[in-house]
Structure 1
Amino acid sequence: MDILLEDIRAKNANKITWIGFFVNLILTVIKLIAGILGNSTAMIADAIHSLSDFTTDIVVLISFRIVRKPPDKDHNYGHGKFETLATIIIGIALFIVGLGILYSSIKNIYLVIILKNNLESPGIIAVITALLSMITKELLFRFTLKIGQEIKSSAVIANAWHHRSDAFSSIGTFLGIGGAILLGDNWEILDPIAAIIVSIFIMKTAYDISIGSIKELLEESLDVITNKEILEIIENVDKVRSPHELKTRKVGNKIIIDIHINVENTLNIIEAHKINDEIERKIKAVYGNDTIINIHTEPEDD
């Protein structure tokens, strides 16, 4: 992919991410205000979940600014690990927030069931805000997913599904708050129950955000299916014999591949080099031009 196409790709990614950024910022503020004014723990929890989308937008924007910097003397394989580290920090912070909301919600349920205390009934502003959030985040999900698929960006596609998770949590909030309002004073407990559901969404989102990045920092190899596909590509290159010692890992969005191959003893260095070029071309056609491939060429044993 040439520089012009890469710039267009980055421009489209930044555009949709900035749209999501401001939508999430506005939704977070509205939900927080509605949760406070409407006395809804579930809505406050939903506001925190929107904040998770907001922070994910920041990660995507940073990644397209920093990761596109060329490798330098301190970062020979590029700057992809910065995105990885930031993602882990955000995931840990979100998980702690989710635990806090879970604790608060369980405490409120304890007050109602065990201590027989009454909770203040949530206001209509909270249920209206939940409905607004459901519609807005579903539309944002569809728009972001479309752009992500067009530019083939895993980060943008992941961000789209993050919007969808927020839409789902708003459904739980809407049902919990709406049930508490419609069913009367004896059902205020539905609001903290909905908050528990949302807190679980937040912690799951935090886990999903963090686990892949943690594996990447620990230099975990690519999955078995991807490794098998890489070997199949190499095996189908003419005059390649017995590809072996495959090692793979990720640096940000880049894939790094180390492989040993055998070639006929009669080939000269120019012919062997052409085989390596063909391997690189075919692999990059599948996994992108940023893929880093190190090939160790050995003569085939008699």
Structure 2
Amino acid sequence: MELDNNERKKAMDIATWWGLIVNLLLSIGKLVVGYIGHSQALIADGLHSLSDLVSDAMVLMATHHSNIDADEDHPYGHARYETFATITLAVLLSVVGIGIGVDAINHLIDYKSIAVPTQITLVIAGISIISKEVLYQYTMLVARRVKSKLLEANAWHHRSDAISSIVVFIGIAGAMLGYPLLDSVAAIVVALMICKIGWDLGHQSFQELVDTGLEPETLQAMETTILSVDGVNQMHMLRTRKMGHSALADVHILVSPKLSVSEGHQISEAVEMALTKKFDEIIDVTVHIDPEDDELTENSCKHLPLRAEVLSRLKTHWKDIPETQQLLHTTLHYLDGRIDIELVLPLNIIQSGKKANELSQQIETASQQLDCIGSVIILYK
């Protein structure tokens, strides 16, 4: 079931607050114990948790703004806040990772000054592994339920912290067993992991900022759904773009060329309803009704005059046909680069003795003196 913005925001806030509290405790514990216990890897892991803490604060801010309903200045909503926050988080992770890596390499160069970590650092690393994995599972569960890429990114940040804590645990254990360089090596591995996550998150969100569309398999499923709607003969120019946890779509559909405007509109409404019902991420669909394939240049009707000009020019050619003064209705069909016209005349014209075929021929001959006129159909009512 699709959550409304308030329910979505509440679920995201709860998950983020839990992450913030755990990260605060872990950051303090790792940094303090890492310093006291002489573990560079645990200090690096503490900085990683500190970046988690900053990211949690950013998620709270972005969640607040991104779930505000659309307004006059933001007609498509505020979901881009999530994308922007995710990119900022990616940059933060990359900077932290590079800093940790450089510091660890410096320690490796001056390896004689490396101290052996104490046992308490191993205990803190173990606690971090368990708590961060639990936090990852919980946050990912909520992220998938509310369909938030930002919260999902934050969940992976928790998982990365759990994995980095495993590396730290191994590095500390190795240092305590007589291989002190392993602590600095573990710090470098953590740094590389942090930079990799930062790159992945930044690349994905940047693609979203430049209006990258939905995945090919999703587009194929959308095409199948559109073509299943009664009245849709063909479709083309299906375009989508992601916006935070949502997506926007527009499509051209071909319908029978002489449908009424209201029936064409009804078909477009049916297409929109079918897409938004089947694809939860799609929140807005623009459907363009085509009577023919407008991708083909030879079918283009863009150069043809509009109704007022067409009728004005036709009346000039009809001046010798008095029956056209009683015209009840005119329908214009812009097809294949021409204008097909349907004229409705009073039935009493032919009831009074005027031959229908003769009158139709007169009107058709006069009308087709205009180069833009195609077929002419006369109806009587």
What TM-score does the superposition give when structure 1 sets the normalisation length? Answer: 0.89
Corresponding residue for 1:80? 79
What does 1:80-159 correspond to in 2, within 5 Å?
80-112=79-111, 117-159=112-154
Partner residue of 2:272 out of 275, 280, 284: 280
Structure 2 residues not aligned, in runs of 5+: 294-335, 337-381
Paired amino acid for 2:241: R
Structure 2 counterparts to residues 155-234 of structure 1, below 5 A: 155-181=150-176, 183-184=177-178, 187-234=179-226
> Rg bigger for which structure?
2
Q: Which amino acid aligns with 1:210?
A: G
Contact 2:39–2:117, Cα closer than 8 Å, also in 1: yes
Task: Quickly say closer, same or farther: Cα 1:243–1:55, change in 2 above 3 A.
Answer: farther
- C-alpha distance 5-54 of structure 1, shift in aligned 2 (>3 A): same
Q: Give CA-to-partner distance per residue, 1:183-239, whole Å, 9 cap, x none.
A: 22xx11000000011001111111122111111112222232222222222122222
Aligned-pair distance for 1:153? Answer: 4.1
In 1, Cα distance between the equivalents of 2:282 and 2:21?
30
Going from structure 1 to structure 2, the CA distance change for 1:277 and 1:227 (only over 3 Å counts) comes to: same
Using a 3 Å threshold, how does the CA distance of structure 1 residues 81 and 7 change in structure 2: closer, same or farther? closer
Q: Percent identity?
A: 39
Q: Look up the match of 2:58.
A: 59
CA–CA distance in structure 1, aligned partners of residues 273 and 62 of structure 2? 26
What TM-score results when the alignment is normalised by the length of structure 2? 0.72
Correspondence for 1:294: 286
Return the structure number with greater helix share.
1
- 1:92 positional shift: 1.1
Contact 1:59 1:83 in 2 (8 A): no
Correspondence 1:10-89 to 2 at 5 A: 10-89=9-88
Q: Is the 8 A contact 2:97 2:194 kept in 1?
A: yes
Contact 1:40-1:177 within 8 A present in 2 as well: yes
Rounded Cα–Cα distance in structure 1 between residues aligned with 2:236 and 2:181 = 61
